[in-house]
Amino acid sequence: MAKKFWERKGFDIKTFTQTFGGIYDLYYNNPCEETDEAGMMRVGDCLLKEPENGPLLKMLAECRMDILTSDREVAAFAVTYGVYQQRF
């Protein structure tokens, strides 16, 4: 089985967290009509339910010192996950 992007050499949780933060800010500061927040929330919900993503979610929570609790955070996680999945 191929390694997940967060298991590969070169992955940096701090950079992932910064990317997440920038995307979260975009969702937070823009009305939902200008973003696909609702669609990404659905994607994020699916990602959160996949047990294989547990290690990444744990790293993110430890780096942020907070867990994902809002719809915008879940949507931002989904976008960030997608960016990193394509990059690595």
In a domain? residue 77: yes
Neighbours of 6 (CB within 10 A): 19
* pLDDT at res. 79: 96
In a domain? residue 1: no
Judge whether 56 and 50 are in contact, CB under 8 Å: no
DSSP state of 4: P
In a domain? residue 2: no
As for how many domains the chain has, the answer is 1
* pLDDT at res. 32: 61
Residue 45: give the domain boundaries. Answer: 12-26+36-87
In a domain? residue 22: yes
Q: The whole model's pTM is what?
A: 0.91
In a domain? residue 68: yes
Residues of the chain below pLDDT 50: none
In a domain? residue 3: no
pLDDT digits (tens, 9 = 90+) for 17-33: 999 999 999 888 886 66
In a domain? residue 5: no
